[in-house]
Structure 1
Amino acid sequence: MKIKGTQLIALVMAVLTLASCGGKADSANDSTKNTDSGKTVSSEGGETSNEEEKPDTDEKPSEISDEKSEKDEKEIIPPSVEFSQASGVYPAGLEISLTAAEEGDIYYTTDGSDPTTSETAVKYENAIAVSDRKNDPNVVSAVDPLLIAGNFNEPNSEKNGFVSTVSAPADSAVDKCTSIRAAVKRADGSFGGIANASYFIGTPEEHIKGLAESCKAAGHDLAVISLSMEYDDLFDSTKGIYVKGDLFDADMEKFLSSKRSRIKDAEQARQMDANYKQRGKEWERRASVSFMEFGTDGAEEKFSQDCGIRIQGNYSRSDLQKGLRLYARKEYGGSNFRYAVFGEDYLNDAGEVMDKFDTLVLRAGGNCAFTAKFNDTYWQSLVHESACDTKHSRPCVVYLNGEYWGLYVLEEDYSNDFFEDVHGVDKSQVVVYKGDAETYKSGYKLDEGEVPDGKPENYYLADLNSFFAMHKDASSDEDYAALCELADPQSVMDYFAIECWINNKWDWPGKNWSMWRTIEKDPDNPYADGRFRFMLYDVEFGGVSGKSDASTNTIREDNYKPKGLLDMGTNNPAVLCFAYMMTNEGFRNEFYDRIQGLSENEFEKTAALAKLQAFEDEYSPLYDQFFERYPDTGSTENAVSGGYASIQCIRDFLEERADNIDRLVKYCEKNLS
């Protein structure tokens, strides 16, 4: 074992830290009849559903379990209103009858607001007429983009504020449905739980352009989510989570007064504090969610329940279209979203279908939100069998308060429940560290789990940091074996091979890395061995510039340290795991085989290009409607074949990347042999 003389202080600190560790629907109700299958068949021969799949009645994921344990003790109030017709698509206007399952009066809203508190709530007396809303004016879509977005801004003429370079969409550019929220008001003034339903009048393809082409390419229906919530919870300047709001105005005033300065460039709009940058339960808002599978012959609702909603992401929070995280909680009526959202073929380590999720993420696309959108999820889809965790996903069209809100990527969330559901570990034993060198002085934060009282945030990294402080390298088999007891070498190898092969270098590895472990060991579960493993996410910069990225030596040019990923003069524990393991000849040779093998296996050109074409065929038919909803932000042509972050960029990158991987290997050999 070799000790770095220059790291004596780090060694002392590490020792001190260790010492301190103690139904498809297409017709109106009057033309249906029951069938033995539980569905209904219209007089015109189409299927409709009269069933609903019932669920069991941050931004920091680590908050989820703690908040749930506290909230789950509260009384669960299930919905007590039934709709005469299930959510879905109907060929003509219809009337919806509401029935109370308990004594009391029914109150309902059609503007997304909470029927238990809203001033617009109406006492139900007669059937609710539902008609085609295509000529209705926009409401949520009419909000000025300047109030929502930090991008698409430029300084105003006085240099003391901003103007938007884009405008809100025309009424005709926003498709619409009717969303109803209803609840029973009891004699004592209390309310039952909120029920909700969404109705589309016409044909599925009249509502979602490109639906037929997308479904044909995918081989299954399209996910559609209808969200209903209070307008002010989104757009109010004080409490709205989707706007710049009062926090932006206050930060702007402080900037202009304290520095006696003026706005110089558009980027400053993103840098200002804002409502949409806030995190935690305080900035979670209640909503109703209806999840439907849309096909050319109708739509079938798979689950409907209330949930919590927060803004999702980091830098992208300031985008015009924002990511959303959906939280299932017992306090809202269901602790999970119960449905095989990502298909029956998605199995956990025990071979069980993944049909239970405590959180779901609607990702706008990150840095590719207004280009191809699926860049991140495409790369992840190629490496689901690797030794690092990946997310499953699918395209999803979202409606907000009855208005088309855009195309999203619906994906899993790396919460503690994810590791329990996928790997069978005890979620209370999971800790996750997440990197963000721009935000945190240490370069990372504890994103999941809690340290014991009085212990530092890097408490669970103590053994790993101690190893780095006490060892000059891991060249000896003894030292390498000791490091492998702390971090899974196969996970380290796969993670860095994948990130380097796809050249995901712009934010990474200073940001967008995460690694997890269990606190205690369970000899019956190989994933509960206390070793750190890596998770893949936010890899949309892979091949983002096309051919020019294909020749990049990502190990050297990672934009992080002079010696790139081999530089041990860093406090980034993720990079140090790789840099130290690369000093071991055995690991190094296996890494060379792995990264070169990616060119012949997971990223083999013909197969990878075919998968890319499949993604294009599934997503691109949905682009036109998206860019009509968000005018002047981009175009289908640019998303498919533009010069940056387009589908063509990934295609050009794949054409040449494999031919350049040997350069990475030779660079390592030159510096390490």
Structure 2
Amino acid sequence: TAPGNLFDSDLGIYTADNAGREWERPAFFEWFEPDGSRAIGQTVGLRIHGGWSRKYDQKSLRLYARDRYGESALDHRFFRELGVDSFRRLLLRNSGNGWKMAFMRDAIGHELVRGMGLDSQAWRPSVVYLNGHYWGIHNLRERIDRHFLANHHGIAPDGIDLLQNGIRAGDMEHWKRLEQLFTGLTEKPAEWMPALEPLVNLDNLFDYVIAEVFLDNRDWPLNNEQQWRPRTATGRWRWIPYDMDGILGTSGRRPWINTLHGKILYLPVKQPPLFVSMMQALLKEPRGRERFVHRYTTHMQTTLSRARLLRVIDDKQARLAPEMAQHIARWQPTEHSSPQSALPHRDTGDWLAEVQVLRNFAEARHEHVWDDLQTSFKLGEPATLQVGDVPGLLGIEVEGLALPRRGGDWAARFFTRLPMRLTLRLAKGWRLAGWKNNSGPDAEGRFTLNGDTSLQPQLEFEPSHRPMFRSTELEEGDRLRLVFYGIARRTHHVEASTDLAEWQRLKTIGVPDRGAHSLVVPLGGEPGLRFFRVVSDPD
């Protein structure tokens, strides 16, 4: 772009005096992949992006594709992990408030919440040259707006309500219905979960709060809140984590801080954000506490486990490290820098020390959060729930979240004396017949852990219209054992073929019940393929 568009004292968007303005200037944007191929070369609109970070020597840039510049989209798959290859807007972010620290907190936060099923911004570190001059690392990011939501959810951009300190898309009519529940003069609901569920995706709200609380976002919940809904009759509100530069030990915050207490249960303001009021109401009710706490502890053993946090930190460090020395050298203070705007790092050792702050927080956080939950809700001691693996069982869910596998079974820790909703995921044709020793959830799937417990579901196979093989295993003596489930009270014929055209009957079996049946077939060293099938007689 013309140098004056950036640095002219009156018109330039990159100067200290003008960086806070929402000015846009035309610029020619080129994108090169690591193999040197040019994927993009087009004119875009260029703005400065961000809040406080506009004061830094290196600033974030926002790119706009517009018809008036010749192209209405940036057509390239910038982020391979996404199924998106066309963007209206993109960010080249200076890491926001993380610029002076580890340069990766927001990227870490978004990768973690993506694993939790929340909306997240993709991240790709990139080297930027501005008018041919080396400008250091910028993190290429999606911009959260109605086009972002349209890309990720298959909704038309004009079919979205999006709020952030006011209306960003759509309107607030549906949101006002929520507000009336808390601020209106009408009688409050007898139970909050059934009252809120038609309006709010409660699992999304719980998981959003779990992520922000566990990661201890310093700049939340009074800031950095966004929510959206599809503009349909049944569209419910969901929350979007963003600007997570304040997580994992920012500004000296320690892993033992009880964030749940200070930012949700007893937020010290007269008018908390509406979602905080929702959480306070939900967590006063037994069913709300149960679902929130069990989802929280499950996330801490899966999507937010210590091992996962450390893997994500290591990945971000590895991707940034090759360029970091040159980046730090580029942004050493100049005569135009101020203490507020200057990069404090002098070498990569300073940067690595900041990364270690993240690791230290991640290593210690879980133990304190377990204690915080137990104290805040007066819960029993944690214990282990183990569910044995049996044929037909695909997985176990507690309050809608999958339990992790441990060895051959499913197992996780939960608080005792707190009822949970336990669900089995079964393969097609299988049903739950009961639990070993009659020890398991009730008919509605509710179960209360009172100590270390091992459960064993008893499953039955009920093929609706045809038999099914369970296994085929070679045995000593050149023999094959076939195990199958048949249709109860029917006669079945086990047959073999070498060409799928002519079949030889090997055995006829009456199937009295739903149990497994087996037979051994001598192979006799005969060459060639052998095919087997089970045929049931009609009723």
Q: Which residue of 1 aligns with 2:20?
A: 277
Q: Residue 539 of structure 1 aligns with which residue?
A: 244
| In structure 1, C-alpha distance between the alignment counterparts of 2:216 and 2:185, rounded to whole Å | 29
Superposition deviation, residue 383 in structure 1: 2.4
**1:474-514: CA deviations, max 9, x gaps?**
8844x42121212110110110000001111x221111111
Cα deviation for residue 334 of structure 1 reads: 1.1
Give the drift of 1:580: 2.4
Residues 638, 572 of structure 1: CA spacing in aligned structure 2 closer, same or farther, 3 A cutoff? farther
Q: How does 1:503-522 map to 2 (within 5 A)?
A: 503-504=216-217, 506-521=218-233
Q: 1:666 is matched with which residue: 374, 382, 386? A: 374
Offset from partner CA, 1:155-184 (integer Å, 9 cap, x none): xxxxxxxxxxxxxxxxxxxxxxxxxxxxxx
Residue 316 in 1 paired to residue 53 in 2? yes
CA contact (8 A) 1:287 1:306 kept: yes
Structure 2: stretches of 5+ with no match in the other structure: 334-342, 380-417, 419-539
User: 1:424 matched to which residue of 2?
Assistant: 154
Query: Can you list the C-alpha shifts for 1:13-53, whole angstroms capped at 9, x where unaligned?
Result: xxxxxxxxxxxxxxxxxxxxxxxxxxxxxxxxxxxxxxxxx
CA distance in 1, matches of 2:76, 2:216: 35
Structure-2 separation of matches of 1:583 and 1:607: 31
Q: Tell me the distance in 1 between the aligned counterparts of 2:278 and 2:196.
A: 8
Work out the CA distance in 2 between the residues paired with 1:585 and 1:304. 57
1:242 aligns with 2:14: yes
Please state if 1:500 is matched with 2:213.
yes
SS across alignment from 2:150: helix
Distance change in 2, residues 1:428/1:554 (3 Å): same
- Residue from 635, 641, 644 that aligns with 2:352: 641
Alpha-carbon contact 1:475-1:585 (below 8 Å) kept: no
Match among 175, 182, 202 for residue 461 of structure 1: 175
2:295 is aligned, of 594, 603, 607, to 594
Quick check: 234-243 or 399-408, which moved more?
234-243
Deviation, structure 1 residue 607 = 2.9
Alpha-carbon distance between aligned partners in 1 of 2:300 and 2:237, rounded to the nearest angstrom: 26
Offset at residue 370 of structure 1 (A) = 2.7
Q: How far does residue 418 in structure 1 lie from its aligned partner after superposition?
A: 1.1
- Tell me which of 302, 307, 326 is aligned to 2:63: 326
Q: Which residue of 2 aligns with 1:379?
A: 109
Question: How far is the alpha carbon of 1:287 from its aligned partner?
Answer: 0.5
Write the mapping of 1:80-479 to structure 2, written as runs, cut at 5 A: 229-245=1-17, 275-279=18-22, 283-295=23-35, 299-343=36-80, 345-346=81-82, 353-434=83-164, 444-446=165-167, 448-451=168-171, 458-470=172-184, 476-477=190-191, 479=192
In structure 2, C-alpha distance between the alignment counterparts of 1:575 and 1:471, rounded to whole Å: 19
> Offset of 1:636 from its aligned partner?
3.9
The corresponding residue for 1:607 is 308
State how far apart, in whole Å, the 2-side matches of 1:242 and 1:648 are.
Answer: 32
Counterpart in the other structure of 1:620: 321
Distance 1:411 1:473, change over 3 A: farther
Helix, strand or coil at the partner of 1:598? helix
Between the aligned partners of 2:174 and 2:68, the Cα distance in structure 1 is 32
How far apart are the structure 2 equivalents of 1:387 and 1:492?
11
Equivalent position to 1:490, from 178, 203, 208:
203
Q: How far does the alpha carbon of each residue in 1:211-265 deviate from its partner, in whole angstroms, 9 at most, with x for none?
A: xxxxxxxxxxxxxxxxxx11111111222111133xxxxxxxxxxxxxxxxxxxx
> Aligned letter for 1:289?
F
Distance 2:71 2:210 in 1: 40
What secondary structure, in the 3-state scheme, does the structure 2 residue paired with 1:557 have?
Answer: helix
Cα pair distance change 1:244/1:334, threshold 3 Å: same
C-alpha distance after superposition, 1:380-419 (max 9, x if no partner): 1122132421111110111000001110111111121111
- Equivalents in 2 of 1:468, 1:355: separation in Å? 42
Deviation at 1:327, TM superposition (A): 0.6
Q: Which has the higher helix share?
A: 1
Q: Is the CA contact (8 Å cut-off) linking 1:394 and 1:410 kept in structure 2? A: yes
The Cα of 1:356 is off from its aligned counterpart by 0.9
Q: Which residue of 2 aligns with 1:171?
A: none
For structure 1, list consecutive stretches of 5 or more residues without a partner in the other structure: 1-228, 246-274, 347-352, 435-443, 452-457, 522-528
* C-alpha separation in 2, matches of 1:491 and 1:607: 21
Q: 1:511 to 1:413 in 2, by over 3 A?
A: same
Whole-Å separation in 2 of the counterparts to 1:602 and 1:474: 35
Contact 1:420 1:426 in 2 (8 A): yes
1:530 aligned onto 2:241:
no
Shift in CA distance, 498/384, structure 1 to aligned 2, threshold 3 Å: same
Matched residue type, 2:48: I
Q: Which amino acid aligns with 2:161?
A: V
Aligned in 2, Cα 1:239/1:608: closer, same or farther, shift over 3 Å?
A: same
CA offsets per residue over residues 620-672 of structure 1, 9 Å max, x none? 22111111111142134355433xxx21011001111011112331343159x
Q: How big is the alpha-carbon RMSD for the aligned residues of Structure 1 and Structure 2?
A: 2.4
SS in 2 for 1:619: helix
Give the SS at the match of 2:248: coil
Q: TM-score, normalised by structure 1?
A: 0.52
Q: Identify the range of structure 1 (382-391 vs 654-663) with the bigger mean alpha-carbon deviation.
A: 382-391
TM-score (norm 2): 0.65
Q: Is contact 1:568–1:579 with CA below 8 Å preserved after alignment?
A: no
2: CA distance, partners of 1:382 / 1:276: 31
Give the Cα–Cα distance (whole angstroms) in 1 for the partners of residues 102 and 253 of structure 2: 18
Partner SS state of residue 613, structure 1: helix
Counterpart-to-counterpart distance in 1, 2:375 and 2:158: 42
Identity %: 26
Question: 3-state SS of the aligned residue for 1:336?
Answer: coil
CA distances 1:51-98 after superposition (whole Å, capped 9, x unpaired): xxxxxxxxxxxxxxxxxxxxxxxxxxxxxxxxxxxxxxxxxxxxxxxx
Q: CA deviation at 1:460?
A: 4.4
Mapped contact 1:595–1:661 kept (Cα < 8 A): no
1:94-139 CA-partner distances (Å, limit 9, x unpaired): xxxxxxxxxxxxxxxxxxxxxxxxxxxxxxxxxxxxxxxxxxxxxx
| 2:328–2:348 Cα contact (<8 Å) kept | no
Aligned residues: 370
Q: Is the 8 A contact 2:182 2:188 kept in 1?
A: no
Counterpart for residue 575 of structure 1 = 276
* Correspondence 1:61-76 to 2 at 5 A: none
Preserved contact between residue 429 and residue 518 of structure 1 (Cα < 8 Å): yes
Distance (whole Å) between structure 2 residues aligned to residue 412 and residue 619 of structure 1 = 18
Partner AA of 1:574 in structure 2: F
Runs of 4+ in 1 over 6 A off after TM superposition: 471-475
Alignment correspondent of 1:78: none
Higher relative contact order (CA 8 A, sep 6+): 1
1:543 shift after superposition: 1.2
* 8 Å CA contact 1:623, 1:635 repeated in 2: no
Residue 587 of structure 1 and its aligned partner are, at CA, apart by 2.1
